[in-house]
Amino acid sequence: MKQTYRNERRAAGRFHRRFFVTLFISAVMICMIGYFNKSQVSAYEPTDDQTICYKSILIEPGDSLWSIAKTYMPEECDSINTYIDSLRELNNLDSDELQANEHLMIYYID
């Protein structure tokens, strides 16, 4: 009777160790995929006769990424959300909050 109980406990222990090792390896793999899969947002690729130009604009009180994108987004750009994503990346923004009287880099097609 005691031998059966010990064998069951050992089997349960092996199962839990395998489970947690598998869980740990899966978590590490997911983190690695996220880290190495960073891709840059490209809202638009210019043709040979077009140039992407950059300029700094002064953020006015009440400005948002959405309002700035509506004003400056090139017609050739896929969508306003893609343009906003590219502005976030261009300016290294972690959030959508903008501070008045600071500058924001934007791009346009010339």
pLDDT tens track for 25-41 = 888 877 767 666 544 44
Q: Say what the pLDDT of residue 40 is.
A: 45
Q: Say what the pLDDT of residue 39 is.
A: 46
Distance in angstroms (rounded) separating the CA atoms of residues 15 and 20: 9
Distance in angstroms (rounded) separating the CA atoms of residues 85 and 98: 14
Instruction: Examine the domain organization and report whether 58 and 34 are in the same domain.
Output: no
Q: Say what the pLDDT of residue 36 is.
A: 61
Distance in angstroms (rounded) separating the CA atoms of residues 51 and 18: 56
| CATH code assigned at 81 | 3.10.350
Instruction: Examine the domain organization and report whether 62 and 28 are in the same domain.
Output: no
3-class SS shares of the chain: helix, strand, coil, % to 5: 50, 15, 40
Residue 92 lies in a domain: yes
Q: Compute the mean pLDDT over every residue in the chain, rounded to the nearest whole number.
A: 82
Sign of CA dihedral 86, 69, 66, 77: negative
Q: Which domain holds residue 71?
A: 52-109
Residue 44 lies in a domain: no
Residue 90 lies in a domain: yes
What residue ranges of the chain have pLDDT lower than 50? 38-41
